[in-house]
């Protein structure tokens, strides 16, 4: 079975500056090189989903500019349905500047632009597309009230909703009630629950806190250690595959997109989908850039026979 995945999210053109080490406050440093690529959490997740075999569509917004055309072409070139990506003249296309050090760690600054200008009325136009999906994914690089409206429509049509609360910020009332699965990383989880993530016991406590907030199904990604999962029926920890990281940009997005391509609507195969997602993200971190680093299902199968 092929999942039909719809991503509501951000479209950013990424500029990556390659540096030896992160600058200190007030310090001026030189970059050894600069690269530009298509990115944004939404775009990354959509590309990861489609490259792992999901029938993927996108709901989003870009500026009426060259960068906007570049982003739409990047997605359509990956066989993603872009009919629900609008161009607006009021805001420019989203962009991000990424500082990438020699150890593969990054620091990212994002300009939301057109991503942050999406209105709930945009979702009404896309209701038929949402209703046709198996999985709907959203992040926090677009307005939460838009995500709430999209998730409400999704639930009316039996669509499974996945929320990636990144960058972490206070979650608006009602959103978790229409979210089936929340997927923060360890920092985002701690920000939302006020409980530091250090070990499995602390992850259990995070899960308890999220349940108190109104959501039982949780995945916490913890970088090169792996991923923790908790549902009403089960919990556990899936270790990451050990590789040498070159660039961690888009690793978490690859994880979520690849996961969405494999997960059953009732989350019944969550551990198997997590293992697949870990394989995908382990390949991503061994490559440079955002979209260019995301593997196909064939590459994942070849790497992990």
Establish if 180 belongs to a structural domain: yes
Closest CA to 116 of 62, 157, 170: 62
CATH number of residue 68's parent domain: 3.40.1190.20
Establish if 6 belongs to a structural domain: no
Tally of domains in the chain:
1
pLDDT at 267: 96
In whole angstroms, what is the distance from residue 182 CA to residue 256 CA? 10
Cα angle 93, 98, 99 (rounded to 5 degrees) comes to 160
Q: What is the extent of the structural domain holding 267?
A: 41-93+115-303
Establish if 100 belongs to a structural domain: no
Q: Determine which one of 247, 253, 266, 301 is catalytic.
A: 253
Establish if 169 belongs to a structural domain: yes
Region of 181 please: left (phi>0), alpha (psi -120 to 50) or beta. beta
Establish if 104 belongs to a structural domain: no
Residue 153, φ and ψ in degrees, nearest 5: -65, -40
pLDDT tens, the chain, 305 aa long:
689 999 999 999 988 899 999 999 999 999 999 988 898 999 999 999 999 999 999 999 999 999 999 999 999 999 999 999 999 999 999 998 989 998 888 888 889 999 999 999 999 999 999 999 999 999 999 999 999 999 999 999 999 999 999 999 999 999 999 999 999 999 999 999 999 999 999 999 999 999 999 999 999 999 889 999 999 989 999 999 999 888 887 899 999 999 999 999 999 999 999 999 999 999 999 987 778 899 999 999 999 87
Closest CA to 80 of 139, 40, 120: 40
pTM, two decimal places: 0.93
Establish if 3 belongs to a structural domain: no
Contact yes or no for 63/113 (Cβ under 8 A): yes
Q: What is the pLDDT of residues 72-103, one digit of tens each?
A: 999 999 999 999 999 999 999 999 898 999 88
Residue 301 known to be catalytic: no
Q: What is the pLDDT of residues 150-177, one digit of tens each?
A: 999 999 999 999 999 999 999 999 999 9
Establish if 7 belongs to a structural domain: no
């Amino acid at each position: 079975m092929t999942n039909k995945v719809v991503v509501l999210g951000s479209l950013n053109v990424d500029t990556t500056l390659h540096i030896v080490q992160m600058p200190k406050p007030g310090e001026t440093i030189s970059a050894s090189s600069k690269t530009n690529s298509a990115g944004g959490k939404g775009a990354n997740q959509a590309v990861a989903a489609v490259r792992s075999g999901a029938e993927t569509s996108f709901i989003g917004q870009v500026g009426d500019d060259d960068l906007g055309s570049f982003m739409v072409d990047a997605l359509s070139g990956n066989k993603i349905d872009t009919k629900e990506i609008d161009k607006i003249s009021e805001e420019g296309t989203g962009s991000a500047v990424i500082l990438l050090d020699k150890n593969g760690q990054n620091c990212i600054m994002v300009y939301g632009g057109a991503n942050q200008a999406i209105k709930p009325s945009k979702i009404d136009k896309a209701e038929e597309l949402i209703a046709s999906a198996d999985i709907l994914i959203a992040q926090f690089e677009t307005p939460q009230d838009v995500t709430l409206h999209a998730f409400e429509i999704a639930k009316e049509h039996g669509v499974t909703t996945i929320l990636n609360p990144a960058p972490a910020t206070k979650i608006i009332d009602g959103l978790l009630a229409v979210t089936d699965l929340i997927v923060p990383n360890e920092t985002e989880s701690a920000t939302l629950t006020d409980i530091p993530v250090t070990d499995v016991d602390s992850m259990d406590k995070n899960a308890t806190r999220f349940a108190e907030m109104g959501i039982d199904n949780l995945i916490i990604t913890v970088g090169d250690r792996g991923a923790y999962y908790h549902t009403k029926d089960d919990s556990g920890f899936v270790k990451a595959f050990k590789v040498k990281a070159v660039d961690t940009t888009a690793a978490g997005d690859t994880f979520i997109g690849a996961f969405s391509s494999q997960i059953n609507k009732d989350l019944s195969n969550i551990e198997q989908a997590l293992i697949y997602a870990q394989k995908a993200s382990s390949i991503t971190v061994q490559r440079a850039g955002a979209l260019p680093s995301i593997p196909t299902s064939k590459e994942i199968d070849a790497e992990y026979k």
